[in-house]
Chain A
């Protein structure tokens, strides 16, 4: 029997099953809903059969791990060779306190560092700026100068760890500080490994940590990619992010499509700068959320790899297979975690983490159960880390690569998500690209509508959130939450003022003037920023120079 004949046979049998066996069950045990849809709106079938993967071609669409189109994984040995990096996003209070938390996590088995900066730092303000009042060290670690960075890595040598930095507007400054710390420790920049998020496009419609207008923002991103390509070859200069798109309310398809399209935009920007695609593409990395719907998330990650590989090959003519790799970091979805009955969150995080592992992530952060209440307590973050370790060592899922491959359901979902993503690509191309789309409010509207729809579903109980709109309980579980000592702000401000008194202010002013001059000439700013940072110029001072030249930007609001 030929393949088509086999499929027809199955189709006939399915129809028989639907006419004979199914109705009996529908009578006795009717389905709980008239329609089963996932949050992206995809209608989910009762059962998937070979019919649903009829046009799947193994070698064309899946291939082997480590080979184009990389659907099954970017490396040939994946987690059998090396487990994903267990990289917990952390930071609060002073650099000293966060240094302690880093050491704790490394001791407990995390295998990579990830810095959470406080709001003033990520927004380019020093701890003593009027805007920083009440915000210093509350949501992350306060870093205003190289001095703070040095304390942050006290006792941690940069050739022994890799570090991810969630920083966008001031990414160049923080990267410069990291390089300077490495320098002081005797670690040359060629040996430094890690990531700067440095993904400014999604700020305009998702994370909203905007400083400068779109054009100069992209220029800064490209500066960093260019600099790292030449001088910091083990660094991932950019982590093209979908996590925040999801947290802002986008669904899985929007997360996938918008993230990858941002990636396309960055590649175009680097090419316009004169770089060759195979020079910089191997170090582009990605960052996604892992949400509740186990199979949709797995399909999303697999589709992401395949789409990116195809895009790099067909749209950008990359030749080096490494340019086609999509290496990803995943974080379990913060938004899904509840303040009500917080211990339930441990279960949620486990399912979410599992999707990322089954789909072959390179790096993973698991949220702590007290996510909706405060920054993670030591106990909560330890449990989150243990979740990863239990999956890694006890569940057996890492014994083989891409175990869900061949599942009629998952392969069908993967294909559907790819199709939907390509539709979005066409729409965005027609609009003239990501920037015109941002200006028109396209991403913002898509996300606002998804987000509102989700809330309506919860309000109307069409979507059950256990412990929140169903299975609620009046009793409160007493949880000891982390509170940042208000004295932190005092200490940090005092320390900053001391620094400003004791450093060579003449040198600082010289460096800032040089930066001003270089920025006006439109040159790559990294070398000048590194010099400024080494002279202990602060983030705020450096950003102020750039604010003067580029102006500040306010988002377009679409509800």
Chain B
């Protein structure tokens, strides 16, 4: 049979933030767009997120956080991804990330940041256009 490549996405909720309405909507929307979505629930440590991304060999990591703890948790996650050699994974983030923090987050390597009010189609398009091509 033919090559069956699917886009695999990890939707992760780092830290103690328990608002998962957005994460679940994105998970469902991405599934409905034909992607394989791994969602690991709430209260994920940076180590758990990166380990999961590695084991699941994902193309994309979507980080969802509304608690304001992104300033501490995102750098930890990006550093771990580097250590594990996962720098080719597309990392995007959503939730409540103040405008003034966005440049810093982008510098860490988080390519797309989607604030409240983003249409789900926008995120889906972004992923299709930005996932790393595999040889």
Contact = CB atoms under 8 A, between A and B. Distances in A.
Answer whether A and B touch in the complex at a CB cut-off of 8 Å.
yes
Interface of A: 119-120, 123, 125, 130-135, 138-139, 207-209, 247-249, 335, 338-340, 372-374, 448, 451-452, 455, 458-459, 465, 468-469, 476, 481, 483-484, 486, 554-555, 557, 559
Given A134-B71, A339-B115, A451 B41 contact: no
- Secondary structure of the B side of the interface? loop
Given A134-B71, A559-B39, A459 B24 contact: no
Contacts of A340: 117
17 contacts: A120-B16, A123-B43, A125-B16, A133-B72, A134-B69, A135-B15, A135-B16, A138-B68, A248-B20, A335-B21, A340-B117, A469-B119, A481-B98, A483-B98, A554-B41, A559-B24, A559-B39
B135 to A, nearest CB: 32
B16, B29, B39, B116: residue with the most chain A Cβ atoms closer than 10 Å: B16
Contacts of A207: 18
A134 B65 CA distance: 12
B67 interface: yes
B69 A135 contact: yes
Chain B interface category by residue count: 20 to 34
A187 to B, nearest CB: 32
A469 B41 CA distance: 29
A209 B19 CA distance: 9
Contacts of B18: 119, 207-209
A91 B115 CA distance: 24
A454 to B, nearest CB: 9
B21 A131 contact: no
Given A249-B21, A554-B41, A374 B116 contact: no
B33 interface: no
B31 A459 contact: no
Nearest to B72: A134
A135 B72 CA distance: 8
A559 B28 contact: yes
- Secondary structure of the A side of the interface? loop
B117 A559 contact: no
Contacts of B41: 554-555, 557
Interface string B59-100: 000000001110111000000000000000000000010110
Nearest to B31: A559
A138 B72 CA distance: 11
B25 A452 contact: yes
Interface of B: 15-21, 24-25, 27-29, 31, 39, 41-43, 45, 67-69, 71-73, 96, 98-99, 115-117, 119-121
Contacts of B21: 247-249, 335, 451
Contacts of B116: 338-339, 372
Given A119-B15, A133-B72, A459 B39 contact: no
Contacts of B28: 448, 452, 559
A559 B115 contact: no
A448 B24 contact: yes
Contact of B98 (A133, A208, A373, A469): A373
A557 B25 CA distance: 12
A486 to B, nearest CB: 8
Given A135-B72, A459-B119, A559-B31, 11 more contacts: A119-B67, A123-B16, A131-B15, A134-B72, A207-B18, A208-B18, A339-B96, A374-B96, A448-B24, A455-B120, A476-B99
A486 B70 CA distance: 12
A343 to B, nearest CB: 15
Contacts of A130: 45
Contact of B117 (A138, A452, A468, A555): A468
A210 B116 CA distance: 25
B120 A459 contact: yes
A125 B42 CA distance: 15
Nearest to B122: A459
